[in-house]
Amino acid sequence: MGLVRKQAPQQPEEVLPPESPSTETLLGQIGDADANVRREAALGLSGAAEAVPELLARVAVETETNVRDAVLTTLAAHDTEPVAGALAVHLASDDAALRTAVAEALASMPASMPSLIPDLLAAPDHDVRVMTAMVLADLAHPEAQVWLTRMIAEDPHPNVVTAAIDALLPAAGAEHAPVLEAAVARFPDDPFLRFTVQAALPRLTGKQ
């Protein structure tokens, strides 16, 4: 009986991962008719500085929420003053969803936002100042509470002051009670502002 030669086990063919699309390809896809393609393109452009102008232009025209969020996530990762400044323009948008999405993106840009805050606090449109309070609510910066306290003490519009109070309250302490009480005194005819402060004071001061 002859010997049977054992065949060597076949090595599985090496499967190479697909090549990542080039920046040029992704830029061509950012305006694709398919929202999923646009979203993947926006995320794929992370770190590509040359894509910033196209992504900034996309913010104003994108209608799909998940795509816009992807675009803003990629842009916020740059955290530069030119990008933050271009995004901050949308705080005045008539589109409430866009305003909110941009505010969330700006709140994740602690390196570049501080330089914009003085101008935003002085914006003639009080709605922009309200959105600025929303940014400061989540901005990881040591001066965020200082800016919010200044808004509460100095802003002439009750809606802005109320927004700043809402933004400050999660981190507020007893030291903030006087400025909150002063805000109620400045706007005695605003029931919502008064209610917000009165509901918070017992926790801040320890007095029921």
Residues 20-66 have pLDDT tens digits of 788 999 999 999 999 999 999 999 999 899 999 999 999 999 999 99
- Of 6, 55, 64, whose CA–CA distance to 29 is shortest? 55
Report which DSSP code applies to 156: S
Does residue 31 lie in a domain region? no
Contact (Cβ atoms closer than 8 angstroms) between residue 157 and residue 170: no
Does residue 172 lie in a domain region? yes
Angle (deg, nearest 10), helices 65-76 and 35-44: 10
For the chain, the domain total comes to 1
The DSSP line for 124-149 is S-HHHHHHHHHHHHH---TTHHHHHH
Report which DSSP code applies to 122: T
Does residue 164 lie in a domain region? yes
Residues 60-91 have pLDDT tens digits of 999 999 999 999 999 999 999 999 999 999 99
The two tokens of residue 57 are 């232009």
Residues 92-146 have pLDDT tens digits of 999 999 999 999 999 999 999 999 999 999 999 999 999 999 999 999 999 999 9
41 phi, psi to nearest 5 deg: -65, -45
Alpha helices per DSSP H over 2-47: 23-29, 35-44
Q: What is the pTM of this model?
A: 0.86
Does residue 150 lie in a domain region? yes
Does residue 147 lie in a domain region? yes
Does residue 20 lie in a domain region? no
The two tokens of residue 4 are 């049977």
Does residue 145 lie in a domain region? yes
The two tokens of residue 84 are 């933050």
Residues 208 and 119: their CA atoms lie apart, in Å, by 39
Q: Range of 183's domain?
A: 111-208
